[in-house]
Amino acid sequence: MPAKCLLCLFVIVSLLLPLSAQSQRLALDAPVPANAQATAVVAAPATLPPPPTARQFRVWSGLGMSAGDVTYQIGGNIKMGGESMRMHFPISELEFPMDVALVTLGAGLQLPSGWEWLGELGMNLSDPSSKMKDSDWTIPHAPRVKTIYSESDADLDAFTLDARGRRWFYRRQDASGMRWALGAGAGLYYAKYEWEAYNVDQWYPQEPWRAHFRHAGVGITYEATVLMPYVELAGQLERGPWHMTFSLGLSPYTQVEDVDDHVLRSIRAETDADGTGFKMEFDVRYAFSANWQAFGRLNLLGFSVDGTEKDHVYAGPDAGNRWEIDHEIESRQTQLVAGITRSW
């Protein structure tokens, strides 16, 4: 996975760059006004906005951890061969883990007019540490009785892209020099997840005497593509070297396309689903020189969508059979990221 290695190397080099000499040179080159002492004791009126922000370009890279899952359920309405029937929901649930190490790389441009443009790429550096879980409830008159359960090891390739623009339209500064601002904007979040589950261990909770079914090879592959346009509200607080930003994005129309290949049963299932989503971010930066900052960030992401799953059997004695069934997908993800920012 050369791309992941290059991004990781970029992060490590950023952390090891010699910054002290550059920061000293900047301090020596900075002009000192003759009335600096007098200026320092004059507080800005609380009702006046701070001076316009200069144009600033910055890049950042970070390492972090992710937790959560993408889970889908099926059941409800089933159509097959021109006939329809209704079953309980769910009859089956598959939970795909997201607890991985990750790397991010981003860039941003802030303009004196108050507009800010941001973009960030992310990908995982490790495979999930927890199991992929598959549960079935197959008794119609006892829909809460779990009849089949399995766990599998899982590999994951995840790629994310978050691009957004916002405008800081309300800026203020109090007598102590603390600044705050409110902003609004819009963005687009894209994600591509690909799992491969193997080392299957399946058993039957209601029939403990039955032997476990075990399969060392690949039992299932699953892909999910997420497209989440969102509107965003944001707040910003600055005091001395500290800079804090909070944002909340809401998506009234989130689209998810997923493909499930049950390799052991030769069944391929495809779904186009839509619903709602959200993303939340809390970012803290500390400037330890004129152009370098350390940052820590908490990200929360979630979506809930539904659609109709289309299944077909592609091999074996039942090859050619097709049916449709109700399908719901939910995800809740948490990320903690820390890294370095360079600004110009």
The per-residue pLDDT string of the chain (344 residues; one tens digit each, 9 = 90 and over) reads: 444 544 444 444 444 444 434 444 444 444 444 444 433 334 443 333 344 457 899 999 999 999 999 999 999 999 998 899 999 999 999 999 999 999 999 999 999 999 999 999 999 999 999 999 999 999 999 999 999 999 999 999 999 999 999 999 999 999 888 999 999 999 999 999 999 999 999 999 999 999 999 999 999 999 999 999 999 999 999 999 999 999 999 999 999 999 999 999 999 999 999 999 999 999 999 999 989 999 999 999 999 999 999 999 999 999 999 999 999 999 999 999 999 999 99
Residue 21: inside a domain, yes or no? no
Residue 36: inside a domain, yes or no? no
Q: What is the pLDDT of residue 240?
A: 93
Residue 310: inside a domain, yes or no? yes
Residue 312: inside a domain, yes or no? yes
Looking at the structure of the chain, the number of domains it has is 1
Residue 111: inside a domain, yes or no? yes
Q: What is the pLDDT of residue 232?
A: 98
Residue 33: inside a domain, yes or no? no
> Residue 315 is encoded by which pair of tokens?
């091999």
Q: What CATH number should be reported for the domain holding residue 88?
A: 2.40.128.90
Q: What is the pLDDT of residue 292?
A: 97
Residue 271: inside a domain, yes or no? yes
At residue 241's C-alpha, the angle toward residues 166 and 184, to 5°, is 10
Domain that holds residue 83: 2-16+49-343
pTM of the model: 0.84
User: What is the SS3 string spanning the chain?
Assistant: CHHHHHHHHHHHHHHHCCCHHHHHHHHHHCCCCCCHHHHHCCCCCCCCCCCCCCCEEEEEEEEEEEEEEEEEEEEEEEEECCEEEECCCCCEEEEEECCCEEEEEEEEEECCCCEEEEEEEEEECCCCCCCEEEEECCCCCCCCCCCEEEEEEEEEEEEEEEEEEEEEEEEEECCCCCEEEEEEEEEEEEEEEEEEEEEEEEECCCCCCCCCEEEEEEEEEEEEEEEEEEEEEEEEEEECCEEEEEEEEEEEEEEEEEEEEECCCCEEEEEEEEEEEEEEEEEEEEECCCCEEEEEEEEEEEEEEEEEEEEEECCCCCCCCEEEEEEEEEEEEEEEEEEEEEEC
Residue 35: inside a domain, yes or no? no
